[in-house]
């Protein structure tokens, strides 16, 4: 969801306009929520590469939100939707958090090619995983841009390696071909249909599409700061981002969720990016 929508949902919950907050594991990351009870729908997450069990530290971080912020309600409570998850939950909560012995460091984009081979991390640091950057770099192969420009496309802020690769390739290709990246150059003409329509009766698929479009626009605005003379639709992108956040917020008040719907969220995300949002000729 767009950050604006997340903030509004949390504010509504904290003010008791809503009594239930449905959230991803982001709820454990620096968010202040006045919540007494946390219930895990699943202890498995997709981390951008594969589906895996939450680690004990991740479970402790999320569960630790219960009863913690501005609540005079005694101890917080934690549970699971599935009986078979209870044992792992209890084991994870009982496990001692290992001390942080090293801080991770990451290469500057301009030295990514040589950083890993020459960096001396010492005893208190570990080299950040650069595999994602290398994978995204493969998507950018054969694009005729100077290396100091291409490296900026390696760190476009998206939450999945595949999506970073798709969006970066689309944007970088337009940059190379036209020396200009306009929204119409990188997005299908129908990409804004849902955003330009009415907010009522949106399906879960419509909202998913809007969330992905928001991510593309967010990446566009980020790159417009890097290349202001190339990304000329910054104002339009910001306007659409704001509108999409409002549409999603309004739609969430009436949407009927189907939590056990079939299919891979990762696969459907890639499908929407390729078939409904980004232009095919730039992928």
pLDDT tens-digit readout, 81-134: 999 999 999 999 999 877 878 887 655 555 555 665 666 667 777 766 667 777
What is the pLDDT at residue 263?
46
pLDDT at site 248:
86
What tens digit of pLDDT does each residue of 56-90 get?
Answer: 989 998 888 888 766 666 678 999 999 999 999 99
Are the beta carbons of 44 and 5 closer than 8 angstroms? Answer: no
For 234, half-sphere exposure in the C-beta direction (CA atoms, 13 angstrom radius) is 12
Confidence of residue 278 (pLDDT cuts 50, 70, 90): low
Phi, psi of 215 (to 5 degrees): -60, -40
Q: What is the mean pLDDT of residues 51-55?
A: 90
Task: Say if CB 213 and CB 191 are below 8 A apart.
Answer: yes
Cα–Cα distance measured from residue 170 to residue 143, given in angstroms and rounded to the nearest whole number? 10
Which residue, chain included where needed, has tokens 């903030």? 7
pLDDT digits (tens, 9 = 90+) for 227-265: 999 999 999 999 999 999 888 888 877 766 555 544 455
The tokens for 71 are 């609540």
Q: What is residue 256's predicted lDDT score, i.e. its pLDDT?
A: 62
CATH number of 3-94: 3.40.50.300
In the chain, where are the structural domains located? 3-94, 100-129, 131-282
């Amino acid at each position: 969801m767009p950050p604006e929508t997340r903030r509004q949902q949390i504010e509504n919950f904290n003010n008791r306009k809503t009594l239930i907050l449905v959230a991803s594991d982001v709820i454990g990351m620096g968010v202040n929520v006045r919540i007494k009870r946390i219930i895990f729908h699943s202890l498995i997450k997709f981390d951008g590469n594969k589906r895996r069990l939450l680690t004990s530290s991740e479970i402790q971080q999320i569960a630790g939100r219960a009863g913690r912020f501005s609540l005079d309600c005694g101890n917080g409570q934690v549970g699971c939707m599935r009986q078979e998850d209870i044992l792992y939950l209890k084991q994870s909560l009982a496990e001692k958090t290992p001390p942080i012995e090293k801080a991770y460091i990451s290469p500057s984009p301009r030295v990514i090619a040589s950083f890993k081979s020459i960096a001396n991390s010492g005893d208190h640091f570990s080299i950040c995983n650069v595999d994602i950057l290398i994978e995204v770099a493969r998507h950018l192969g054969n694009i005729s841009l100077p290396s100091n420009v291409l490296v900026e496309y390696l760190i476009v802020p998206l939450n999945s390696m595949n999506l970073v690769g798709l969006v970066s390739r689309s944007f970088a290709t337009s940059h190379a071909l036209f020396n200009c990246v306009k929204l119409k150059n990188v997005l299908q003409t129908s990409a804004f249909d849902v955003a330009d329509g009415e907010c009522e009766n949106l399906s879960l698929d419509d909202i998913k599409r809007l969330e992905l479009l928001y991510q593309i626009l967010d990446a566009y605005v980020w790159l417009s700061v890097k290349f202001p003379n190339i990304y000329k639709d910054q104002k339009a992108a910001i306007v659409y981002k704001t509108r999409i956040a409002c549409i999603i917020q309004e739609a969430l008040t009436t949407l009927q969720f189907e939590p056990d719907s079939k299919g891979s969220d990762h696969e459907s995300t890639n499908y929407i990016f390729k078939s409904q949002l980004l232009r095919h000729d730039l992928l």
